[in-house]
A and B are shown apart, each in its own frame.
Chain A
């Protein structure tokens, strides 16, 4: 019997990243509980979830810093801990993983050398990273003297020094002001323009909405929803709208009333989903009859935060 011809698939046709049935436990805690996902070429996939949801553990498993208890991770078909995968992957950790006493240039040179870059390649890569991070004029400044936003940008640049094809960004905007955050968004959009595939973890809904093509909502180590923003909202709410009602005194009786009406009370704000705007009148009437004084009420289209709350019963930033 003739054997089937072996066809090798060019790496350009392989998926940049495939995670299959990944499990990681720390003692009693299951940080990642059977996650499966695929990252398509040139795609930005957002991992949206609260702190402790398992986002960082998933990223660290992909980058080979955590040994999973089960499951596989492949990067362009190579195992995650292989030399090929390491070269293809760039990682921006949540912490400022830099040498504080070294200058920006020295940091980039060090990480470039750790990735095997030498001489002209290294010089070119450092110059590109400094330019990308808008730090060329601060190249000789020790990291410890930089502002928080600059440190974040350098932290990202250090993950990009070897020009990887897949970037893993673990909450790169933590602790930066809105202006610095916008600058980081612009940097990421520039990378996306160059066709780099990316996983972006965040617990800020607006970041995921702005930057990501698809979003995986992750909670307790599991992906509870995956799709584009519109798909997620559609799946959770269909064509319904969301009513947000703030009460002057959100006490236990208000909580009981909200629950009775099928809503969720979080931080003094009650959320209801309605099919038609006319249903608001019924809500107002019911609240008045129950003696609950409304301070504010609004109608809005559901967003990712609404989806998360809808799926988990908790707010994203809990």
Chain B
């Protein structure tokens, strides 16, 4: 069953770019990554799905129902964590969470304490006094407290320290095991790789690719930077799978896709002083998808 179905969803803001013909669908029980650089349209898409803003054209269905027409009904089963969290500063954390719970047709008291314990959140403090990281925790508890069937997370890890990120991720995996579908938006490829089974890549308001994580990983280039003791002949590196090759002084840089053993064989004959092999960052991957 498709939990989310976007069809040519378009949102234009006057001259400013919004999103253009965004189409993809998310299956039930999936952790779906939604990835793209800042300003690509991730938040615009999500805000349209939640009918905080309305589409210029196209449509989206959540749980098989139109996301504008049935907005209040489908939101019973959605938990949303915005990229920047803002709550009523004068309220105490517990009062905000109770207010949040009061919108749903179930008793969430036990779940609130459970989640607050898991996230190490002090319920007695005033929202206005909380650090960014703690506000984010309030956001996480607020998104999960009614045990929704669909979680929409927009840049959920920003502001969380690594330890909390880990706890948060294990919380998400638990939820996912219970059958919860997750839409996870991020501009950090690493965290999406850790969690998601499929991703949609968005750039400049358009979906460039929808791909399973495994295929995306195979297509991944590795970024090499080799520092040698003596100059290297450029011709030595004429093997297939290498691109963006450059030599400057004694430093060679290139991107490689393919059997890594071919490169290690080549390197064995070099006088290596320093070696760096990295995952290319997101911009480079985008560049790669953009050129195709």
Whether chain B is bound by chain A comes out as no
**Contact surface of A with B, Cβ cutoff 8 Å:** none
